[in-house]
A and B are shown apart, each in its own frame.
Chain A
Amino acid sequence: MRKLTTLLVFLMFAGLQIVFAQRTVTGRVTDAANDTPFPGVFVVVKGTTTGVLTDVGGNFTVPVPDNRAVLQFSFIGYVTKEIAVGTQTTFDISLEQSTVQMEEIVVTSLGIKREAKSLGYSATTMNTAQIAENPSMNMGNAMMGKVAGLNVSAPPTGPGGSSKLRIRGQSSFGGYNEPLIVINGVPINNSSTFTGIGGDFGNGLQSINPDDIESMTVLKGATAAALYGYRAKDGVIMITTKSGAGRRGLGVELTSGIVFDQPIDYTDFQQEYGQGQNGLRPVSLTDARSSSSWSFGGKMDGEPVWCFDGKEHPYSPNPKPLGFYNTGITVNNTLAFSGGNENGSFHFSIADNRANAITPNSKFNKQIFDFGVDYKFGKLTLHSNANYSLEYNQNPPGSTQQFGIANTVYTTAVSSDLRWLLDMPGTSGYKDTVTGNEYTITNFSYRTNPYWTAYERFEDRSRNRIFGNILLRYDFFPWLYLQGRVGQDYFVTETEYNSPTGTAYLGAAPAGQFNGEFSITKATFSETNFDFLVGVNKKFGSFGFDAQFGGNAMNTVSQSTGTSVVNFYIRDLYTISNGVTKTPSQTYSQKKVNSLYGTISLSYNDYLFLNATGRNDWFSTLNPESNSYLYPSVGASFVFSQALDNIMPSWFTFGKLRASYAEVGGDTSPYGSSIYYSLNSNAFDGQYAWGGVSGSTVPNPDLKPLKVKEAEVGMELIFLDRRISIDVAGYNKNTVDEILNVDVSSASGYNQTKVNVGKLRNRGVEALLTFVPVETRDFSWETAFNYSYNISKVLELAGGAERIVVSSGQMWLGSQSIAHEVGMPLGSLRGNDFLRNDKGEILTSGGQFRVNSQMMTYGSIIPKHVGGWLNTFTYKMFSLFAQFDFKAGHKLLSQSNYNAMRAGFHKETLVGREAPGVVFDGVVDNDANVSTSEDDTPNTTAVPAQTFYTNYASVKPYTPFIYNASFIKWRTLALNADLTKFVGGRVIKGLNVNASVNNVLSLLKYVDNLDAECISNVDDNNGGIEQMGPPTVRSYALTLNIKF
């Protein structure tokens, strides 16, 4: 402890040796902001390698060769100061914090730190304080709307759900275009995993505690990410976690927060006709228990009517359609310790997050232990970080029909309240007291009683994960270093789920057995990376030279074993041994990639910078004949404000032009080059072995990884000492050699094959405008707009095809509706329109609309416009943050509205409720030619309401359920108060209170009955298809931060 109190700040460039002292000068450096001593400042005699660090009192003693020497004082984040020595022997120096971007240091690929001004590409450093304003369990969601070019979606999949990140559009035809997440220089697995019922177990970002983040950089383009080669196609998010560096003294920090999540009810259902079918209200309990999925009953008149809970309730609209959902409560606590001495520093934190979702009996708990240390043994530096997380995800909400709770909630008749079930005497509202089976409330048994799903059905996943790295660096000279690093990401997941015995939709088990299922799977994933880097950094007069050379060996192994059982001998005992039919499973997958890479940077007079990189990757997954790929990049940056310093007006603070080009790649999967067979686990009828081809994709041994070629230009301008700053970028990104899982005729025996043809282009601009309209001593207002426009175009598909269909697994409206089409933006939403004549009138048959059997394209599911408007008002110790964001230019298909239409909830179903029914506004085709309108006569046939609206389900027209998915939202309102001065003192060094609201208001949307952000599928290829996810939530958070 004593050692820790005598701390010094550690810096990487420490340990310079003193040479040829002719005389020494001394002095003291202070921080201009508060006049306190400034330890750790790098004091160097300009043009030499002579230098020292200031001590804990800010004092230094440095030898100088002669009176012409110039002393340079520098510290990261402060304006470097130069003083001519002359005859002076003592110096009093105060350093000012740099306000101008050009002194910013950015963590770039491989963890290499560079000055922002030298970069020939766009790299945005996130404001970590703003991340903290959104206390989402998934820190990815907190980045929403904050970075130009970064499109974040927070699917409403519960607290344990994924956050979907996309940088500069979608680089590939595949559904997974997620940026690489790099923590402390080492990639981690960020893939999402899904539940068996269409739910979301979350992605890799869940394992990170936002409080542990020191800095975060978004490397957007291919050049920025080029050193990651085959992993760089979607950009990189570089996260550096805390290691205590820069701390003076032992510190303890406690952050406690509580978040309340409230489901937002956007439903605007008809309020005239209640539960029932064919215009009739339920007349008995049996009737009420068979018709809760339907709002085709009688006109609601407040008279008592039988309800599924066995009581009579007034036949009136349920004022709280989403009453099934609770208020979600999340409690977050982080305790962090940090400190250091002259040789190093550390940071250790323990976080405990407990989120109870809005869905009953659904929760996500995690504990994260994060440890970071820097230590210096002379010229040898040790740097290590480790992050250990224990995550437990219980019953995340699903979106399939059977166990997707939202399905039943949104289609419970407008006159009925599911909460009545909770008050049923003698039962728990979901379990039949006699049989122990599901208490059904609808004859549509696929709509499971949601309380049964919540309390009898389980699907849990636990994940134990550790990732981290150890880095050793040796500084031979101030201009030459060598480092080696080993990093690993390792996790074990254990997943189990059941289909409870007695669930209504399940078929009966053979006599003497109990129906149901149980499954348990244990999976491990590991990725290890060994890498080394040699770095050289030299200045020759006006020229600077900086080069790194390195290599990386990556090995990833994922494997799983599991067993699922169907039917049981003993009721309600969900174990493997109790299962009747047991089906074991086992998977193994390994992949290696070896890489060598180098980077060279040249600078001239600190205003002209050139950078080139190259990386070669060797893949184990590819044909050995052609498994080596080179990924080059070049970039240039010109700080014209500095080059033309003498002629620039004083209000022109900073100006930079940049341009770059790079080629990067995509990944490939193992074992894709051969065909494999598999045997079924259980012999047929206990005696006949049977098996077949594993999978339905024809292998392709000649596959290459896809390549992204991206050119980028950009400009940064800062005026009036940062009152106004502008950063714009434009890019053109071509993806070639797309790996396409091309659909093949199923008559070939297969469904798909992988081929290497396909070209895609993304073009776009990004702009960030920061403006400080008011800045006084006590009050300031900073406002920032970020905006990005990305338009994609499919240039070519395999075999000259016009389109490939990529979606799968939709519930109701059909099996194919997302396609990529040549000449169109990526992700065409396709479906069947009504059958129309040449005048556009809808043809009918027997009074029912007809549907065109040819599909049409409605538009792209991917937004063209994404942006945010961020405002920070600071008044003395208070700051108020408000964020608005928007997405526009995309379409969605709402299957919930389809259900609302066919089951009598949608307001449009009010038409034709009374006899004779709906006389649809269409025409009757009187000749055999459907397109000609001459012989068509108006439809006069009336169809009873329920029959008419049910026809939406029979013939499935898409058109009424296609929406413009654009929205504008008031995302965040947060008030922060720094109360340090009231309590600050010897014990408490800081006290902050933060209150925030997230998802404040939806200011503009077009989707009926739902949030415009209702898409719960994180896969791009199913992105535009809404299927009954849980409602989005409004969160109220209160966070307290105390520093000791």
Chain B
Amino acid sequence: MKTKYVNIMKAKYVVATLLVALISMVSCDKGFEELNQDPLLPTSLDPAYLLVTCEATYVDNWHYEGSIIQQIQIIIGGQEAAGNRNLRVDNFMQNIWNGSYGNYKLLVEIVNTLEGDATRSNLYNMARIMKAFYAMRLVDTYGNVPYSEAGLGLGGTFYPVYDNQEDIYADIEAELIAATDALDPAKKIETNEMYFKGDIAKWKKFGNSLLLRLGMRYSKSNPSKAQTIVQTATSATRGGVITTNSENVYIPYNSTQNNPGGAALTAGTRQNWHVGRPFVDFLYNNKDPRMRYIVCRYSDPNSGSGGTIDTVGANQVGCPYGLDETTITTDPLYPGAISSNVWKYSQFNRQRNLRVDGWHYIITAAQTQLLMAEARYRGWITTSTAQAYYENGVTQALTQADIFSTTRGGASPITSDEITNYLSRPNIAYADATALQQINEQYWLACFLMWHEGWCNLRRSGYPDLAPNGYPSQDASVANGDGFIHRLCYTIREYTINQDNTEAAATAIGGDELATRIFWDTP
């Protein structure tokens, strides 16, 4: 009996100890604050790493821009319906919006943190240039957009107002000039930056080339303003613009970070994406040496490799616009189908320009030199000759690395003889009488895969002279306009979330329609 009693008493102590331990355990919240910090993630990053993100994910869009400028076409509708049928499809119209603002906040952060920081002034100014670049694309796509209040979500600005597009442009202009001028080779060189490893001379050319692009946007709506900006942009004392391919800005996609455009166009619906007929015809009619590296027909477009490839120019059939899976058989050049809804129209070359490790160009010597040609032609600048700029632009376009090659970064296979030949062809050889058309047709070619810029230039210059899409059930505003999409609409999400500001912007720009023109796009 006694032993049992002792055992029980012992147990009692055990329980009492347990009780004391438990009470002390729950009676406080000591250490809770430290506990609530994620031990794996940093609370800040070197701004250079943020800038690389903005450089690396500047993504283009083919669902609208590529089909508006009639370089790419898809016959089927359904999930892929967008620019091919001149329809409003929110899924695809929102790409630039969402893709831009996610990065825009990082640029705002870099600019806000580094402002006044003398040690990183070059990084600060590069971020300003990138920020202007992002904002410019947004204006060019939608018109009025959030700018002064954009990217400030962390500070609690959740529903930014939309700024006037002209005002934004004016600020971008000022920013590009100020930031480019403030870049200083004597200050810390940001070697972790991706486009040029911090090379100040190249960055200045990048900034000035963007400024040139911006100035040229005014060529229809405000020529004198255009002239002023172009003169500033090209002033030799400010560092000049991009003149050769080694100064191009591009995203070096690779086997780890794949080219999103190439990846999408060679994935599930690869057999459905065709080359637009005007593009094929233009290349073919002018015996363009690029053609056999861009356009082809595959024997088995369903398969990943495409089967056997036919790059003979005469065998290519571009895909027409305005038709669908049923009416396509009425195309006079209808080449037939490989199987149902897989047609024999030409496609892009998956082994060359659609490689998933292919580079994506952002701004090139070809584009810049062609803009110089136009500026020179218009007499806004006085250096060299329009013809020299034009020929250099075409030459740079034909000798761009990677895009015509089967290997990543590979040199252009186009020879100097081919270039000389090409530049002497009837419609290609520079002629003052047709200079504007020629320059801008070449710009259109130089924007292959840079479809957004091609679309801007089509709206700005009116070239190339394309026929409207004319799809029977296209968007009413486009049908009532000139038959082309002039901007993309605000996202449904913005209407849901930022309703008042979005509606005010829609009114301010004259209606949120595909046919509404942005401010520099005067008829």
Interface residues of A (CB under 8 A from B): 276-278, 280, 282, 284, 286-287, 289-291, 294, 377-380, 402, 435, 437, 440, 443-446, 472, 474, 476, 482, 484, 504-511, 513, 515, 530-532, 534, 551-553, 566-567, 580-581, 586-592, 594-596, 618-622, 624, 627-628, 670-671, 673-680, 682, 684-686, 688-694, 696, 698, 742-750, 753, 803, 805, 812, 814-816, 844-848, 850, 853, 855, 902, 944, 946-947, 950-951, 953-955
With an 8 A cutoff between CB atoms, is B340 at the interface? Answer: yes
Task: Contacts A685-B194, A693-B105, A745-B146 given; indicate if A290 touches B22 (C-beta within 8 A).
Answer: no
Report the separation of the CA atoms of residues A511 and B158 in the bound assembly, to the nearest whole angstrom. Answer: 45
A745 touches B494 (CB 8 A): yes
Contact yes or no, B50 A816, CB < 8 A: no
Question: Size band of the B side of the interface?
Answer: 35 or more
Most A Cβ at <10 Å: residue of B4, B23, B145, B158: B158
Sampled A-B contacts (9; CB under 8 Å): A284-B339, A443-B341, A446-B268, A515-B304, A619-B32, A620-B33, A670-B35, A690-B49, A747-B151
**Do A947 and B326 touch (CB < 8 A)?**
yes
Question: What residues of A have a CB within 8 angstroms of the CB of B491 in the complex?
Answer: 746
Residue B305 at the A interface, CB < 8 A?
A: yes
The verdict on B118 contacting chain A, using a C-beta distance below 8 Å, is no
Rounded to whole angstroms, the CA-CA distance of A590 and B38 in the bound complex is 8
B362 located at the interface, meaning its Cβ lies under 8 Å from any Cβ of chain A in the complex: no
* Contact (Cβ within 8 A) B22 A689: no
Whole-angstrom distance between the alpha carbons of A827 and B329 in the complex? 46
Q: Which residues of A contact B106 (CB under 8 A)?
A: 692-693, 749
Q: Which of A747, A844, A955 contacts B150 (CB 8 A)?
A: A747
**How far is A671 from B40 in the complex, measured between Cα atoms in Å?**
11
| Known pairs A587-B40, A685-B254; A290 contacts B340 (CB<8 A) | yes
Interface centre among A507, A510, A588, A622 (most CB of B within 10 A): A507
Are A530 and B496 within 8 A (Cβ)? no
- CA of A51 to CA of B152, assembled, Å: 74
Q: Is the CB of B90 within 8 A of A814?
A: yes
Please, which residues of chain B bring their CB within 8 A of the CB of A902?
78
- A280 and chain B: residue at smallest CB distance: B340
In the complex with contacts A443-B339, A532-B18, A684-B257 CB distance below 8 A: yes
Q: Min CB distance, B3 to chain A, in Å? A: 11
Stretch from B79-87, B224-232, B440-448 forming part of the interface with A = B79-87
In the complex, are the beta carbons of B146 and A747 less than 8 A apart? yes
A551 proximity list for chain B (CB < 8 A) = 22-23, 25-27
Kindly provide the distance from the CB of B505 to the nearest chain A CB, expressed in whole angstroms.
Answer: 11
Tell me the minimal C-beta distance from B176 to chain A in angstroms: 21
Knowing A532-B19, A688-B56, say if A595 contacts B26 (CB, 8 Å): yes
Interface assignment of B42: CB less than 8 Å from any CB of chain A? yes
Whether B178 sits at the interface, judged by CB under 8 Å, is no
Contacts A902-B78, A953-B79: A621 and B19 contacting too (C-beta < 8 A)? no
Q: With A484-B19, A532-B18 known to touch, is A676 a contact of B43 (CB < 8 Å)? A: yes
The 3 closest A-B pairs by CB, nearest first: A749-B105, A846-B472, A748-B153
Q: Which has the most chain B C-beta neighbours within 10 Å: A618, A689, A690, A855?
A: A690
Once the chains are docked, how many angstroms separate the CA of A812 from the CA of B80?
11
Q: Which residues of A contact B12 (CB under 8 A)?
A: 380, 474, 476
* B 1-42 contacts with A by CB, 8 A: 4, 7-8, 11-12, 14-16, 18-19, 22-23, 25-29, 32-33, 35-42
Contact across chains for B25 and A294 when beta carbons are under 8 A apart: no
- Whether B476 sits at the interface, judged by CB under 8 Å, is yes
Please, how many angstroms separate the alpha-carbon atoms of A944 and B324 in the complex? 11
Residues in A neighbouring B396, C-beta threshold 8 A: none
Q: Which residues of A contact B150 (CB under 8 A)?
A: 747-749
Q: Is the CB of A698 within 8 A of B8?
A: no
B419 at the interface (CB under 8 A from A): no
| Shortest Cβ gap from B409 to chain A (Å) | 10
Residues of chain B touching chain A, judged by Cβ–Cβ distance below 8 Å, are: 4, 7-8, 11-12, 14-16, 18-19, 22-23, 25-29, 32-33, 35-46, 48-50, 52-53, 56, 76-79, 81, 85, 87-91, 97-98, 101-106, 108, 145-146, 149-154, 156-160, 192-194, 252, 254-258, 262-264, 266-272, 302-305, 324-327, 338-342, 350, 355-357, 406, 408, 471-474, 476, 491-494, 496-498, 501
Closest Cβ of chain B to A327, distance in Å, is 32
- Chain A residues near B158: list those with CB within 8 A: 698, 742, 744-745, 748, 750, 753
Q: Provide the bound-state CA to CA distance between A566 and B270, in Å.
A: 20
Task: Name the A residues within 8 Å of B254 (CB-CB).
Answer: 685-686
**Which one of B27, B35, B46, B97 has the highest number of Cβ atoms from chain A below 10 Å of its Cβ?**
B35
Question: Is there an interface contact between A749 and B302, defined as CB atoms closer than 8 Å?
Answer: no
Q: Do residues A671 and B38 form an inter-chain contact, with CB atoms below 8 A?
A: yes
Let me know if B256 and A746 touch, CB within 8 A: no
State how many angstroms separate the Cβ of A753 from the closest Cβ of chain B: 6
Asked whether, in the complex, the Cβ of B15 is within 8 Å of the Cβ of A474, the reply is yes
- Contact of B497 (CB < 8 Å), options: A619, A744, A815: A744
Assuming A278-B340, A747-B494, what are 15 further A-B pairs, CB within 8 angstroms?
A290-B340, A378-B7, A379-B8, A443-B340, A474-B11, A508-B266, A510-B357, A530-B22, A551-B22, A588-B40, A591-B36, A670-B35, A749-B151, A847-B473, A947-B327
Report the bound CA distance from A690 to B106 in whole Å: 12
Complexed CA–CA distance, A567 and B28 (Å): 52
A782 to chain B, nearest CB (A): 45
Assess whether B78 is in contact with A954, with CB atoms less than 8 Å apart: yes
Q: Are B11 and A377 in contact (CB under 8 A)?
A: yes
Chain B residue numbers with a CB within 8 Å of A805 are: 493, 496-497
Determine the chain B residues whose CB is within 8 A of the CB of A590 once the complex forms. 35
Set of chain B residues within 8 Å of A278, measured between Cβ atoms? 325-326, 340
Q: A505-B268, A747-B146, A947-B325 are in contact. Are A291 and B15 (CB under 8 A)?
A: no
Query: How far, in whole Å, are A592 and B145 apart by their CA atoms in the complex?
Result: 44
**Contact between chains at A472 and B97 (CB < 8 Å):** no
Give Cα A950 to B272, complex, Å: 15
User: A846-B472, A950-B78 are known contacts. Are A504 and B37 too (CB-CB below 8 A)?
Assistant: no
Most B C-beta atoms less than 10 A away, residue of A530, A581, A749: A749
Give the residues in chain A near B85, CB-CB below 8 Å.
954
Q: Which residues of A contact B305 (CB under 8 A)?
A: 508
In whole angstroms, what is the CA distance A194 to B52 when docked? 33
B41 CB contacts on chain A under 8 angstroms: 676-678, 694
A513 to B32, CA, bound (A): 49
| Given A507-B263, A675-B154, A670 contacting B77 (CB threshold 8 A) | no
Docked pose: A308 CA to B89 CA in angstroms: 34
Q: Which residues of B contact A621 (CB under 8 A)?
A: 36
Instruction: Name the residue of chain B whose CB is nearest to the CB of A685.
Output: B252
Residue of B nearest to A952 (CB): B78
